[in-house]
Structure 1
């Protein structure tokens, strides 16, 4: 059989729980799923037996084979591959003469063994009447003597063959008929290698890096073509998380040596370096891990340990002239690194996650500029990382800016950064997540935004803006923020964490941003509600629908209005229902919305009365939707509304109008 090669069997076992690759042969996906299901059922039985005190050895292979139905797909692939050679339709492995010759020899040998089973098998039928449908016939065979079937299973490494003998006999008869008729197979005449090279280049270009590497592994010709695409993305990681029980200092030295060997390999391959377009260099060690290894940031030991690492990274920077995207995680940024980045003329995206500025960079008087960078992302874990925002001073042309706080505490932009630079003069898209929720910090942000439009002829270029805070923004702060944004040509606005959602909010939005096409509003019912789950808004759906009448071009509206009914079994739980925080969710029963499409369509039509251009209405619940209404119109003006409950909102459309952290 085609899967009996020992090396191939071993490789398939390694791939079982690894990244899925495209299926090249018949029933590969089904076989893989059957193996996974067998493992799950096997371990579930072990767990159940352990819970009842009836232990089962973990190496009881017979029990695993009991659940394994993958043999059916292996045999089916083997026999049907031969049949489909004669039908002219097979799989991605192709219908070559070499493959057919090999397959034909093994099919002949396999059919001889199947014929032996057929001679000793007795067919039994059981008819089952399915009410109001049809009569179903169950077929099974009894093989006598039983060792014939057992020997067959051992020879071909199969299991549970008795459950699909009827399929084996049927396909075996078809194969015999083809052999006896001596019909010629329909061999493949055209191959992928026959396509012009420019088409292969185009296929590689639109494929993911992983797919380009897979295609390049098929033959020498494709390998040569794939070299320009297979190495476009590269990731280098220093170490892994240092746990308390580890010999942290020794582990750190070991991982540094491994990291330097990866750098040395990359530096020895100038051809790969020149092809890299997306480079990520990261350290797995946060501040706590470094302290446990006696390498606390800022200490002499830290500087000595990371000195060769910084030199190696700098050498890689100097060798990558065609880089488009650069991501640095939990590293110290030095002046030499910035100078090397300034020589990367194609660099357009810079991402700094948990990075610190080296001591020599804290003086920016002669720091080189990075005018080529238009996309910038800063992820801040701890206050020590806030200084990395000073890099904004050397990004004079940034157009997309993402500022994300992922620490335990909310963060705020340092006043020194606000005084010395202003990216809002050039930025068209700004996403600020987990920002400080004090009035003073939000008012300082509003003043920073307003300062960018001061002066004759200056105007905010913002088209997309999102601000996400955990506590609710109060009314006077919110109005000040909207006043700072006034005049920007916003087409997408997302405000996550609002305490005030009254009439004045919608009037200000409609007058300030007449071209707004996408609006997302997330309300905080009280200071205890921090997540973006459903919230009880102070008004009704029809009241808020009327407030959207001022948005003539609105095509998307997302909000976290709670449409779930709440069951309160006793009156003492009523305060919890009104509280709407994490404690309340654990004690109360929130019913899911009943999926009545006609009711939801009526809700969408209510909003269409005031927003005739509306295409999507979304009731937000964290990363999912309570309800999603998709509205379409045909050329005659007929309206169709499709509704769905609890769908994931990770599609590109929602990343565009309401991006999430890290997007």
Structure 2
């Protein structure tokens, strides 16, 4: 068994320091995936040891302990890997390198050699158990196990033979104990892997590649010809072109304009080289179904720098960048997803987008629509009836033209998901009536999110949703998901207008952020239930004052339990979320039972665990959920705003009627996007068109 020959061969007093630097370079981690157990941790520890030794050699420090400490840590990961690999063969669990016979033969030989030394050493060891007080609870003790060595000469001989130090003494013995138990239980017979990756059918390999990240798919395709042939179509299906801005290379103590000019020229050459190769390969262009075009030099980056403009670098500098981006869209005729970041949406780019017959998702982030494009856009016959999901992010801190992106909505007649988000100091203004009266996608729209809209424009939004009255009634809607967030607050009359405008929609999920305190009574939930009895998700966020613009916990006008009976009016509500302020630092009333029944003894570990579980169940946030779970038998998740994010509580019911409440971060993160879309994660989940490629 070789724990760390490279580091053992290095002497800090040696003059051959180039060897140390070469080892550091050769041990550099090449990226995911890690094929061995704790591979990344071992490489990191090695590099830290090499760097510590380098600083000591160069006189940058006088401490040699970091070198030896990190070297021992690197050996620790190798020692753990040895024991866990043996156990993995015996239990049928192992890392990505697989349970192959050749590897077992190598491990088994080292294991038997180590076992001989272990059995010789075992009679000379004595188990020592000490009790130490916990740091923050000194009244509670925990046990520490160690071994007392009776034969020091034999101990040093074994440690030197396996290149171990005192740092590994307990692990070298305890790890072997566990491995020997598994070895004895399995009678020394390993579970050799019979089914390998290449034994799978091509259909399964295609499915694996389709779920794999780009870097992992590329590495997997390098392993053999068969996987390369399958992986090529997935490796090239996603493409990104970025006009990069290297902010780390800017020295703000020097004149900025010359530095910006040089960086822009370098970034342009890099972009053109990458794009030139792509354009020269029509076969690769046809493979791409996900394209991202990013201009990191756009927007408000240099809004305050009057001494620099990209147009001053050279004549037509940005025009050439825009032409390249447009050409990339035009050549990628099979696109299903297009992401644009700070691009110029001129007539050529919009024409290229409208020509994409397979486009399913379009994300437009902080893009600029030139003034000269607005009127021709309204007068043209350009349209794309294939796009079903559109996300727009506008920068509201500067008047940089991104607000004008409202105009591009006239191009898309069959949208099913529309997310519009503003980011900056100011709220979003509603589009002009002369513009939104020309939008034709409301007959197909199913999911709508607008945030944060200017409070003064709520009436215009309600008018657009309601549309022209037909026979005295608003038009029928297909909206199933609706989220509205305002900058300050929603007066009760404005809230009523939005609810009335939506009353013809088969609404399933409703999110209202910015409710005025005067409207935040149980009656509000009852009104929503009357209009939308089949709602499955409801989230309400109240503003605590007229000056509040951010979502945060607030003191609602009634006690939390007074709102619970209102949920009984819903037929199939699954989720309810709000920003009710709960003080979780209060002591639990369960402590009173300890005074009555007696406190827990220091050594009564079982009762201590039971009490911790019971104490958590009686937390204020858990107690606040119980009335809602009781009032509404269909609810299975509950959202509570803490800080600036929602925590999600899972509600389950046993056969005997007992209600269990559990907070799980991973579960909450996965579920939360269904009920309260986050623009930085993706907004409402997109509706996929299965008839299209990549759908």
TM-score above 0.5? yes
Q: Bin the TM-score by the shorter chain.
A: 0.7 to 0.9
- Aligned to 2:414, the other structure's residue is in SS state coil
- Aligned to 1:402, the other structure's residue is in SS state strand
Instruction: Note the C-alpha offset of 1:528.
Output: 3.4
Contact conserved, 2:246 with 2:263, CA < 8 A, in 1?
Answer: no
Instruction: Note the C-alpha offset of 1:604.
Output: 3.6
Contact conserved, 2:29 with 2:40, CA < 8 A, in 1?
Answer: no
Instruction: Note the C-alpha offset of 1:600.
Output: 5.7
- Aligned to 2:231, the other structure's residue is in SS state helix
- In 1, distance between residues paired with 2:92 and 2:493? 73
Contact conserved, 1:128 with 1:136, CA < 8 A, in 2?
Answer: yes
Which of 374, 393, 397 matches 2:414? 397
Q: Deviations over 1:290-312 (max 9, x none)?
A: 45486658x68798111221222
Indicate the residue corresponding to 1:574 in structure 2: none
Cα RMSD after superposing both structures:
4.5
2:30 matches 1:25 = no
Q: Deviations over 1:162-197 (max 9, x none)?
A: 5655469889999xx9xxxxx998865542212222
Relative distance call for 1:251 and 1:24 in structure 2 (3 A) is: closer
Which of 377, 386, 401 matches 1:372? 386
Contact conserved, 2:299 with 2:342, CA < 8 A, in 1?
Answer: no
Please, what TM-score do these two structures have when normalized by structure 2? 0.74
- In 1, distance between residues paired with 2:84 and 2:479? 60
Contact conserved, 1:123 with 1:140, CA < 8 A, in 2?
Answer: yes
- Unpaired runs of 5+ in structure 1? 47-55, 178-182, 568-593
Instruction: Note the C-alpha offset of 1:367.
Output: 5.0
Which of 426, 443, 451 matches 1:409? 426
Bigger Cα displacement from structure 2, 278-287 vs 394-403: 278-287
Instruction: Note the C-alpha offset of 1:332.
Output: 0.5
- Aligned to 1:14, the other structure's residue is in SS state coil
2:577 matches 1:558 = yes
Indicate the residue corresponding to 1:138 in structure 2: 147
Contact conserved, 2:452 with 2:485, CA < 8 A, in 1?
Answer: yes
- In 2, distance between residues paired with 1:163 and 1:320? 60
Contact conserved, 1:323 with 1:344, CA < 8 A, in 2?
Answer: yes
Relative distance call for 1:301 and 1:505 in structure 2 (3 A) is: farther
Please, what TM-score do these two structures have when normalized by structure 1? 0.77
- In 1, distance between residues paired with 2:558 and 2:365? 40
- Aligned to 2:505, the other structure's residue is in SS state coil
Indicate the residue corresponding to 1:630 in structure 2: 650
Which of 65, 78, 81 matches 1:77? 81
Contact conserved, 2:347 with 2:373, CA < 8 A, in 1?
Answer: yes
- In 1, distance between residues paired with 2:454 and 2:207? 47
Indicate the residue corresponding to 1:577 in structure 2: none
- In 2, distance between residues paired with 1:97 and 1:547? 64
Indicate the residue corresponding to 2:15 in structure 1: none
Instruction: Note the C-alpha offset of 1:218.
Output: 2.5
1:26-425 map, 5 Å: 26-28=37-39, 31=42, 57=60, 62-67=65-70, 68-78=72-82, 81=85, 91-96=95-100, 99=103, 107=110, 125=126, 127-128=128-129, 136-140=145-149, 160=167, 164=171, 166=173, 188-240=193-245, 242=247, 244=252, 245=254, 246=256, 247-291=259-303, 292=305, 296=309, 304-358=316-370, 361-362=373-374, 363-364=376-377, 365-381=379-395, 382-383=398-399, 384-415=401-432, 416-421=434-439, 423-425=441-443
Instruction: Note the C-alpha offset of 1:282.
Output: 0.7
Bigger Cα displacement from structure 2, 94-103 vs 467-476: 94-103
Contact conserved, 1:287 with 1:296, CA < 8 A, in 2?
Answer: no
Relative distance call for 1:158 and 1:191 in structure 2 (3 A) is: farther
Indicate the residue corresponding to 1:618 in structure 2: 639
Relative contact order (C-alpha < 8 Å, sep 6+): which is higher?
Answer: 2
Contact conserved, 1:241 with 1:289, CA < 8 A, in 2?
Answer: no
- In 2, distance between residues paired with 1:141 and 1:57? 41
Instruction: Note the C-alpha offset of 1:619.
Output: 2.1
- Unpaired runs of 5+ in structure 2? 7-21, 133-140, 587-614, 683-695
Instruction: Note the C-alpha offset of 1:482.
Output: 1.9
- Aligned to 1:332, the other structure's residue is in SS state coil
Q: Deviations over 1:302-326 (max 9, x none)?
A: 9811122122222222221221110
Indicate the residue corresponding to 1:471 in structure 2: 488
Which of 671, 686, 691 matches 1:653? 671
Contact conserved, 2:467 with 2:475, CA < 8 A, in 1?
Answer: no
- In 2, distance between residues paired with 1:475 and 1:146? 80
Relative distance call for 1:450 and 1:622 in structure 2 (3 A) is: farther
Contact conserved, 1:111 with 1:172, CA < 8 A, in 2?
Answer: no
Bigger Cα displacement from structure 2, 267-276 vs 636-645: 636-645
Contact conserved, 2:490 with 2:514, CA < 8 A, in 1?
Answer: yes
1:411-450 map, 5 Å: 411-415=428-432, 416-421=434-439, 423-437=441-455, 439=456, 441-450=457-466
Relative distance call for 1:359 and 1:9 in structure 2 (3 A) is: same
- In 2, distance between residues paired with 1:210 and 1:194? 23
Contact conserved, 1:549 with 1:611, CA < 8 A, in 2?
Answer: yes
- In 1, distance between residues paired with 2:637 and 2:189? 57
- In 2, distance between residues paired with 1:301 and 1:73? 53
- In 2, distance between residues paired with 1:171 and 1:516? 54
Instruction: Note the C-alpha offset of 1:57.
Output: 4.3
Indicate the residue corresponding to 1:573 in structure 2: none
- Aligned to 1:379, the other structure's residue is in SS state strand
2:622 matches 1:606 = no
Q: Deviations over 1:99-131 (max 9, x none)?
A: 5677789x59x969x97x999999564633659
Indicate the residue corresponding to 2:596 in structure 1: none
- Aligned to 1:321, the other structure's residue is in SS state coil
Relative distance call for 1:159 and 1:228 in structure 2 (3 A) is: farther
- In 2, distance between residues paired with 1:541 and 1:603? 7
